[in-house]
Structure 1
């Protein structure tokens, strides 16, 4: 079973790949350079490559000894629309583009594992599908890959995902039992009333007042309608109404947009129902019109028990520490699209404390630590050896 120490010789190469990806970030479904580099490296190690799934997705196929089982390992490749402020020598060279979530590290770790697996095909029996996925950040790349026949073209018995987690000690692998991440949905409501002069509110029907009542009403859902031991989040992220240069005008309409999160499908459905009901009730109370809309984006990421157990066992041989009790996180992940179709599990890889005090994910100071690369690559190889023994 390979250890992180065995990957010390590969660390310079993995670091070079990771920093190259970091220097050239690409948004979802635009990862053309990244995908081409991944495909070239895989081919150089004698790995069969399929390109163009979901536009920029890449799948590398490694055949070990004869065997009937197959598994998939997934890494995401896309960056975020942010302006980097790290000051690193390999900082982003593209304006308003940045690897602020560590997908550059995920890609480099899976490449490191790919090179090792290609050179040690006698260590496992069956097939490994390396899935380099585009557009994890909000655009649903996993769903598109699945809809374009990923699992029909590359049948597997299970799929696994690994994501960096700042704050978790370096090299620690955490595999939650059950929910890992929350659903991530978007809701919208437009309240339409009758605009009027701010000095004569009685002549209109104030959509702004209805919007304010709606925002307060939302807070009761999580506070009073969901089990206190459960998880629900409803947040308002955008409000648009009126014109800043005309504060003496009560606008005729107000538009609100926000996010809803849950760890269970039943709670998710309750959030959708109640957001619609509260919008309609508030509109009736204030004699305005309400047009609510709920957009289901990503379901909860929930580990399958058998595959979570496999990840924990694989981590026991390679990780500096192993946890099965990490609490769920209310962020969302489109890996849930894969888990809704086939068995699998998702783990966290600890990357230690960030160098910068504000260097957590989705922050302009974030940078994936290269010291974590051998830990991730070794874990992937250990998982393959255990699953395809």
Structure 2
């Protein structure tokens, strides 16, 4: 999950906020079939093994583009399951191919592989052995879940209708791995109908959060170039005016404050969430001079796609109204990534499937769009319809807070069991749909 500003590195989540607690996806209203009951048993049987794998990956993290050891572990695991394995797609990617005993749909389950360049406080006993590198975003958990789904489904190979591709993708944190795999011919080798993936997050363990359409705000980094005759102080005053003109949020709310994301009253799980209909941006622009040019740069996060096209014209208007029309050289985006957009039909179908099998309380509706984060999973979604889930990893009663890219990031490993169980059932269900 890509984080674009450093403010989160010092974010501290207060456990005094009223958090929603996670649920065990075995509610009384659940109606699991025979295969789902087998999936539950098989998940329980391999759970401790998956924890060991996750902890080994956590102790031995590798940065984007350097996932050599990780690739070998994943490839060998999939080979041992009897899957066909391709490691010649892009970088250190791994594609495991599970062909069912019957013809049918082709589905991708994607897991990201790379770690973060940081040395944050890590309270677990199985700390990183590599200085300055850490799985502080949960990709080790994602890989364990992906391997778990592969193992569970491999036990049902003969009865499966179709093919499952387990795509282990490198270089997500640098936002280039998914595009690299596509450009290197992933979809000329495989021809999937649907794609699914997840990210562990600070929501409560046992809780799956999802919504159709945009999961995150649209992220832009804008650059304004002025003639050098504009002083640093004048440029700062101009940036303040741009901020006050463009910034938008519900009155009294602070969508830039991520400790509110899991709050039951105003977080993403509430219809009254503050994480919708906003434009937030860096209040303090990067302000510097180089050669004969004054530069102003800032990150912008907008929830409404229809508003994105108006950002640069509005900035231009503020600059001109402020008397700097003759000093303005250019306005452009120097970072303009797409965002994760869930297919509406597949999302609604997935929600119904998970609720039918594991109960109405296993899925929580996402009412907002989280700022700062993004995922290059969006590039896969541009090629095939797909759904990206948020999987809760926090256990607030135990002080375990799964706030990605932050000091003391921890995960309740029970989320691995929940992820394998729920999403194995989802994949089986989707394979059976024509």
TM bucket (normalised to shorter chain) is 0.7 to 0.9
TM-aligned CA distance change 1:312 to 1:70, over 3 Å = same
Q: Which moved more, 1:363-372 or 1:318-327?
A: 318-327
Tell me the distance in 2 between the aligned counterparts of 1:349 and 1:21: 19
Tell me the distance in 1 between the aligned counterparts of 2:363 and 2:401: 26
Tell me the distance in 2 between the aligned counterparts of 1:106 and 1:91: 18
Tell me the distance in 2 between the aligned counterparts of 1:60 and 1:10: 19
Of 87, 98, 102, 1:51 maps to 87
Deviation per CA, 1:220-277: give whole Å up to 9, x if none: 22339xxx963323225762548xxxxxxxx976433322223343222222443455
For residues 1-389 of structure 1, the aligned pairs below 5 Å read: 1-2=36-37, 4=40, 6-166=42-202, 168-194=203-229, 205-223=230-248, 230-235=277-282, 239-241=286-288, 254-275=294-315, 278=318, 284=324, 288-316=327-355, 317-318=357-358, 321-330=362-371, 331-353=373-395, 356=399, 360-389=403-432
Structure 2 contact 219–336 (Cα < 8 Å) conserved: yes
Structure 1 contact 214–278 (Cα < 8 Å) conserved: no
Decide which structure has the larger Cα Rg and report it: 1
Q: Which moved more, 1:62-71 or 1:82-91?
A: 82-91
TM-aligned CA distance change 1:353 to 1:338, over 3 Å = same
Q: Which runs of 5+ in 2 are unaligned?
A: 1-35, 250-274
How many corresponding residue pairs? Answer: 367
TM-aligned CA distance change 1:283 to 1:37, over 3 Å = farther
The alignment yields a C-alpha RMSD, in angstroms, of 2.7
Q: What SS does structure 1 have at the residue aligned with 2:403?
A: coil
Q: What SS does structure 1 have at the residue aligned with 2:307?
A: helix
TM-aligned CA distance change 1:372 to 1:357, over 3 Å = closer
TM-aligned CA distance change 1:229 to 1:94, over 3 Å = closer
Structure 1 contact 59–132 (Cα < 8 Å) conserved: yes
Structure 1 contact 48–61 (Cα < 8 Å) conserved: yes
Structure 2 partner of 1:200: none
Structure 1 contact 165–350 (Cα < 8 Å) conserved: yes
Tell me the distance in 2 between the aligned counterparts of 1:99 and 1:240: 32
Tell me the distance in 1 between the aligned counterparts of 2:283 and 2:177: 25
Tell me the distance in 2 between the aligned counterparts of 1:358 and 1:366: 6
TM-superposed CA distance for 1:281, in Å, is 6.0
Structure 1 contact 181–328 (Cα < 8 Å) conserved: yes
TM-superposed CA distance for 1:291, in Å, is 4.1
Q: Which runs of 5+ in 1 are unaligned?
A: 195-204, 243-250
TM-superposed CA distance for 1:138, in Å, is 3.5
Tell me the distance in 1 between the aligned counterparts of 2:238 and 2:429: 55
Structure 2 contact 401–410 (Cα < 8 Å) conserved: no
Q: What SS does structure 1 have at the residue aligned with 2:173?
A: coil
TM-superposed CA distance for 1:296, in Å, is 4.3
Q: What SS does structure 1 have at the residue aligned with 2:247?
A: helix
Tell me the distance in 2 between the aligned counterparts of 1:279 and 1:57: 46
